[in-house]
Amino acid sequence: MPGTPPTRFVYLGPEGTFAEQALRTVSAADRGSRTPARSVGEALEAVRAGDADAALVPLENSIGGAVGVTLDELAEGSPLVITREVVLPVEFVLGARPGTPLGAIRSVAAHPQASTQCRGWLREWLPDATVVDVLSNGAAASGAATGEFDAAICAPVGAARHRLEVVADKIADHADAVTRFVLVSRPGSPPPPTGDDVTSLAVYIAHDRVGALLSVLMELAVRGVNLTRIESRPTGEALGRYVFFLDCTGHVADVRLGEALQGLRRVCADVRFLGSYPRHRWLDGSTDRPIPAPAGLSDTDYADAAAWLARLRTGHLT
Q: Are residues 75 and 184 in the same domain?
A: yes
Alpha-carbon distance 202 to 200, whole Å?
Answer: 7
Domain residues for the domain of 111 are 93-169
Instruction: Tell me: pLDDT of 2 over 80.
Output: no
Q: What is the mean pLDDT of the chain?
A: 88
Query: Kind and range of the H or E element at 184?
Result: strand 178-185
Whether residue 147 is found in the same domain as residue 37? no
**115, 195: one domain:** no
**82 plus 185 within the same structural domain:** yes
Whether pLDDT at 317 is above 80: no
Q: Has residue 283 got a pLDDT over 60?
A: no
Contact in structure between 279 and 198 (CB atoms under 8 Å): yes
- Do 11 and 85 lie in one domain? The reply is yes
182 and 37 assigned to the same domain: yes
Residues of the chain with pLDDT > 70, as a percent, come to 94
User: Do residue 36 and residue 49 come from a single domain?
Assistant: yes
Distance CA(15)–CA(140), nearest Å, equals 11
pLDDT digits (tens, 9 = 90+) for 102-118: 999 999 999 888 898 89
C-alpha span between 93 and 118 (Å, rounded) = 10
Asked if 57 and 185 sit in the same domain, the reply is: yes
Map residue 53 onto helix, strand or coil. coil
What's 259's domain CATH number? 3.30.70.260
CATH (domain of 71): 3.40.190.10
Q: Which residues pair with 230 in a beta bridge?
A: 246
Give the residue among 120, 48, 102 at the shortest CA–CA distance from 77: 48
Domain assignment present for residue 101? The answer is: yes
Cis peptide bond N-terminal to 79, omega within 30: no
Is the domain of 287 the same as that of 204? yes
pTM, 2 dp: 0.80
Number of domains in the chain: 3
Lowest mean pLDDT among 97-101, 182-186, 259-263, 284-288: 284-288
Asked if 118 and 171 touch (Cβ cutoff 8 Å), the reply is yes
